[in-house]
Structure formats: structure tokens, C-alpha cells
Amino acid sequence: MLRPSTFKSSIRLYGLVKQVSGAQAGLALTTRDSKGHPAVQAFVSRLDAEIMVRTCGDEGLQVRPLSQFFDPDSFLAANRGWLTLHIGCGFAAHTDRLIETDKRLRPMGWFIHADIGKWTPDHYACWGEQLPRQLQATYDAAGLHHYNTLLNELDDATAYDLQWHTAEALNALPSGTCTTENPTQVALFDAIECRWCFAKSNAQGNSLHDTRVLQGGLS
């Protein structure tokens, strides 16, 4: 079963959960920022999250909206009241090839840090206009001007359809993945044309630095 969630966000975000021997499902995927601080790995794209599950090779992983299972209190308690999210948007790439780390694709996105203390039901992640602008700028750079409309449609897709799109994305991966190169591109999968699209990015690690990192997006 999923843990009760108190996480609310103005943009739907997905995370990975894992069920262990009938116990409550918990957050299964985190990452680290450039200073080594842990961050919750979130995805704006349900399809990206499903692709990540497949590349992890763990049949126990499931994709769920963070609002269905994520209770930030345990994360805050382990990190001195700080909540850090990595908002994933596409995957790291170099010369039109996707980058693998530990045999997994590497999500790209932005780190958001907020000094919360203790989470309450009144807390709400309100992104305003800045995060949508950053997302749209990334889509536009990849030539996918209506990508947000596609993602909204995938939010309501059946599990069967999502699995089909995930298989198509993996089958359409460019031959030869990188394992040692630094990312210079963001890769987004166009589920309509069944192709990977690439946008140039001044990136470091798994953080997109061609746009300003959001600070204090949580209230």
C-alpha cells in the first residue's frame, strides 16, 4: 500500500516507489546535487518516469504521482529540515547519444532547495510561472513546441498505452550510449513521431544551467 501523502504541487510530479515484502511503498529513487546533498528525484513527464523504471531493471518499481505517496517529513528529518527536489525534464545526452550512469539513463533537470523545517498539510509547492517557462524553453529548444500538451495527454493514458510508449522509446534509442562524456544535450522522446529529439544545454552533472536554478519554490 502507498503511504499517506501530504505533498501538494501546482504541477503534477511523478516519483518511483517500491513495495518490499508487503510493506508500505516508499520513495525509491533519489539523486544528489553538486554538493552531494540528497534530493528527491521527480519527473514532470509520466513517460520519463516509466522509461527510468525500465532502465533501472527492477520489477518492483512503480511510477506514481508524488501527491499519492510522498510524505516529506522523513526526508526533512534526515536533512535538517531542508527539502531538495530534482525536477527531471528529459535525459542527459552527448552528440545525439544518451548517457548512462551505472547502466541507467540520467535524468536532467533543476534542483530546488527550500528550508521547510517541518512539513504540514498547509505547505504547497507553487511554481508560479517560472518553472513552466523553463520547461517550455527546453521543449522549444528541442523543436517540440507542443510537448506540454502531449505530456498532459500521457497523464491520463492507460497503463497499457504507457507501457507501449515506453517500449517504443527504448526501441528508438540511438545506437551506442555514452558512459563517460559530460552532458551537452537534453534528450526528449516525441511519442507522436516516435523519435528522440535533442536540445543543446550548458549543463553540469544532472542539472540544467542554461536557465536559473529555482530557489524557494516551496511555501
Q: What is the pLDDT of residues 5-58, one digit of tens each?
A: 678 888 999 999 886 665 555 666 788 887 888 899 999 999 999 999 998 877
- Tell me, what's the pLDDT at 7? 85
Least confident of 66-70, 140-144, 208-212: 208-212
Mean pLDDT of 123-129: 83
Check pLDDT > 80 for residue 3: no
> 139-147: long-range contacts at Cβ-Cβ below 8 A with a sequence spacing of 24 or more?
139/188, 141/186, 141/199, 141/200, 141/201, 142/90, 142/186, 142/188, 142/197, 142/198, 142/199, 143/197, 143/199, 144/188, 144/190, 144/197, 147/188, 147/190
Helix (H, G, I), strand (E, B) or coil at 130: helix
pLDDT value, residue 21 = 61
Predicted TM-score of the model (pTM): 0.87
- Strands (E) in 116-194, as ranges, are 185-190
User: pLDDT tens digit string along 175-219?
Assistant: 877 777 888 999 999 999 999 999 998 655 555 543 333 333 444
**Cα angle 168, 137, 131; round to 5:** 100
